[in-house]
Amino acid sequence: MDQEKKYFWRAVRISGLVIILLWFVHIAQVLMGVSWGDWGVYPRHLAGLKGILTSFWIHGDFGHLISNTTALFVMTGMIFYFYRPVAWRSFVGMYLLTGMLVWVFARESYHIGASGVLYAEVAFVAWIGIFKGDFRSIVLSLLVLMVYGGMFAGIVPTDTKVSWESHLLGSFAGIYMAYIVGEVIPIEKSKEQEARERLMASEDPEKFLFPRNIFEMTKEERAIEEQRRREEAHRRWLEANQVPPSQNDFWRSDHT
């Protein structure tokens, strides 16, 4: 439990730092009486490439910044807590990929703000439950869709002053990163989960109507676990009955 608290507050600190930096940049812009809008992404112009790195931090006004703050804090914290083994590579990947897609495909105008990455984060959490297939990720996906699903109305062009392209392309970036980490990189198990799995492995599965890990493992993963359990039981039987290895190996080899 103490370790989980440590992970939680670490995620809060990272997410909070992102928000603090966003506000620091905008307040500095206001106090200096300047506009840093030309540090946004300007599609298909070499001078606009720098915006891939900087546009996230630039906002047009306080209303623009406030509209992103709460959701960005929640989503960034969620990713760094629940998906911490892949959080940094996912966040950086969404950050860069969103900017690059905007530079390639968006209309010729300066695109600024954190909303593109925010849409990427929402799409990431919404889709990783589908790609990963474990119970926790599916629950988080449904929760995010219930709370932030209305945001996706922002992917259609309704206001020329709003970078709907950033929203749409950011969503694609989030889905792509969810596919990459959901299929390739396993999500870290907590110590509590590992202890529970060890306990389950030591119990007789026939005592229960349904597999005890029915909500934590996919059907394929349960089949692999069942095969491993059978092989372990067979090995113990051989040892208990003192069956020589040669006899056991005979039936495993290709004798004709």
Give me the DSSP letters along 161-197.
TS-HHHHHHHHHHHHHHHHHHHHHSPPPPPHHHHHHH
Q: pLDDT tier at 256 (50, 70, 90 boundaries)?
A: very low
pLDDT beyond 90 at 32: yes
Q: pLDDT tier at 154 (50, 70, 90 boundaries)?
A: confident
Q: Specify whether 105 is located in the same domain as 215.
A: no
Q: pLDDT tier at 34 (50, 70, 90 boundaries)?
A: very high
Of 156, 184, 212, the residue that ends a domain is 184
pLDDT beyond 90 at 101: yes
Q: Specify whether 215 is located in the same domain as 104.
A: no
CATH number of the domain where residue 97 is located: 1.20.1540.10
Q: Specify whether 89 is located in the same domain as 173.
A: yes
Q: Specify whether 115 is located in the same domain as 238.
A: no
Q: Specify whether 66 is located in the same domain as 129.
A: yes
Cβ(62)–Cβ(26) below 8 Å: yes
Of 157, 184, 211, the residue that ends a domain is 184
Q: How far apart are CA 103 and CA 169, in angstroms?
A: 10
Of 150, 165, 184, the residue that ends a domain is 184
The per-residue pLDDT for range 168-207, each reduced to its tens digit, is: 999 999 999 999 998 665 555 555 556 666 665 565 555 5
Average pLDDT on 31-54 reads 96
Share of the chain above pLDDT 90, in %: 57
What per-residue confidence (pLDDT) applies to 120?
A: 98
CA atoms within 13 A on the CB side of 23: 12
Phi, psi of 111 (to 5 degrees): -110, 115
The per-residue pLDDT for range 63-93, each reduced to its tens digit, is: 999 999 999 999 999 999 999 989 999 999 9
pLDDT beyond 70 at 215: no
Q: Specify whether 109 is located in the same domain as 222.
A: no
User: Which tokens sit at 11?
Assistant: 């995620």
Mean pLDDT of the chain: 85
The total number of structural domains that make up the chain: 2
pLDDT beyond 80 at 102: yes
Q: Specify whether 129 is located in the same domain as 220.
A: no
Q: Specify whether 151 is located in the same domain as 213.
A: no
Q: Specify whether 168 is located in the same domain as 197.
A: no
Q: How far apart are CA 41 and CA 48, in angstroms?
A: 5
pLDDT beyond 80 at 9: yes
What per-residue confidence (pLDDT) applies to 138?
A: 87
pLDDT beyond 90 at 234: no
Comparing 162 with 49, the larger pLDDT belongs to: 49
Comparing 2 with 185, the larger pLDDT belongs to: 2
Share of the chain above pLDDT 70, in %: 79
Q: Specify whether 175 is located in the same domain as 217.
A: no
Q: Specify whether 197 is located in the same domain as 177.
A: no
Average pLDDT on 140-147 reads 91
Least confident among 26-35, 122-131, 183-192: 183-192
Q: Specify whether 103 is located in the same domain as 67.
A: yes
Residue span of the structural domain in which 230 resides:
191-252
